[in-house]
Amino acid sequence: MTTTLTLGTRASALALAQTELTRSALLSRFPDLEIRVQTFVTQGDKKLDLDLLPRSSGGGKGLFTRELEEALLDGRIDVAVHSLKDLPGHMPAGLEIASVLERAATGDLLVSKHGGGLAGLPQGGRVGTSSIRRARQLGWLRPDLEVGEWRGNVQTRLRKLGEQPAFDAIILAQAGLNRLGFETASGFLSFEGSRFEASSLEADMYPAIGQGVIALQIDSSRGAVRELLQGVNHAATWIAVRAERELQRLLSGDCTLPVGVRTRLSEGLVAMEAVLFEEGIPTPSRGTAEGSIPEEVAARIAAQLQSA
């Protein structure tokens, strides 16, 4: 059995927090395991001036993952720790997701200078995000709002919101905020002297594929590593991930695809609903399906979205 393991991760505070969760899960299951951590700066971390909202033929494919995947393939690390929503649908040949940790909250939070959530934003207000999925849904729900590119780690985004009077709100994943230790249950969020309303968008906006999931990626030839990681795999999350990743694959999507999903598991059934935004069309295509085989559920939804 593998006795040492090198985890690769981005160097951001959130990525390191997710790696610590992975480390803790592994040590809880395998207390004698020696774990090392190696950090990487990805192209997405370097190119903070890159506008991710307009879609291009390259999309955002591999922007936050390529350096870790190259390290897996050349043996510098044993496991790459990812936010699953950052992983493109088509991974490089020879790599696979070996396991996933239990899914955290999937919803987005509107972090706002105003009260009243999304409806409380002023007419023509400005909202910052780097996610095309969030931008398209905002345009659908509140077409009067102006959406602007907003890059940087969580702390940088919160700092900018406090400093820039031209912006009214930003959107952040609840899972990321909670993993960084921000208290949001009260409906408010404090940071460096600023106090914002933090209201759930779960009822209004569809989450990203894989949102709230920490994925552990390996070189497919590393059977011993795969076997070890199976010891921390969360079965229910794995089923949901199978459905969502298959939908992403069928739609030929990378992590910038403007698709949102909600996936629920109940009594052995997978129930999923999805929205997909096409260029120039403000109203999304919609699909729903339920079944016992995740991939079949994904295929039915993909067919509905593509035929709309």
Among 200, 231, 255, the domain-final residue is 200
Q: What is the pLDDT of residue 279?
A: 86
Residue identified by tokens 């927090």 is 17
Residue 285: beta bridge partners? 276
Separation CA 191–CA 195 (nearest Å) = 6
Q: What is the CATH number of the domain that holds 87?
A: 3.40.190.10
Assess whether 75 and 146 both reside in one domain.
no
pTM higher than 0.75: yes
- 140: containing domain: 108-200
Q: How far, in Å, CA of 72 to CA of 218, rounded?
A: 6
Same domain? For 9 and 100 the reply is yes
- Boundary (domain end) residue, out of 149, 171, 200: 200
Residues near 236 by Cβ (< 8 Å), separated by ≥ 6? Answer: 102, 103, 265
Contact 12, 44 (CB under 8 A): no
pLDDT at 57: 37
- Rounded CA gap, 52 and 61, in Å? 11
Q: What is the dihedral of CA 275, 279, 280, 286, to 10 degrees?
A: -20
Residue holding tokens 């497919």? 220
Banded model confidence at residue 46, pLDDT cuts 50, 70, 90: low
Q: Among 200, 231, 264, which residue terminates a domain?
A: 200
CA distance 33 to 78: 13
86 DSSP 8-state letter = G
Residues 17 and 91 in one domain: yes
Q: Same structural domain for residues 123 and 91?
A: no
How many domains would you assign to the chain?
2
Q: Which of 45, 86, 219, 254 is catalytic?
A: 86
- Main-chain dihedrals φ then ψ at residue 235, nearest 5 degrees: -60, -45
Q: What is the pLDDT of residue 59?
A: 46
* pLDDT, tens only, 108-118: 999 999 999 99
Q: How confident is the model over 118-174, as pLDDT tens digits?
A: 999 999 999 999 899 999 999 999 999 999 998 889 999 999 999 999 999 999 999
Do both 229 and 164 map to the same domain? no
Residue 86 bears catalytic tag? yes
- Please tell me whether residues 139 and 266 are part of one structural domain: no
Question: What are the pLDDT digits (tens) for 180-198?
Answer: 999 899 999 999 999 999 9
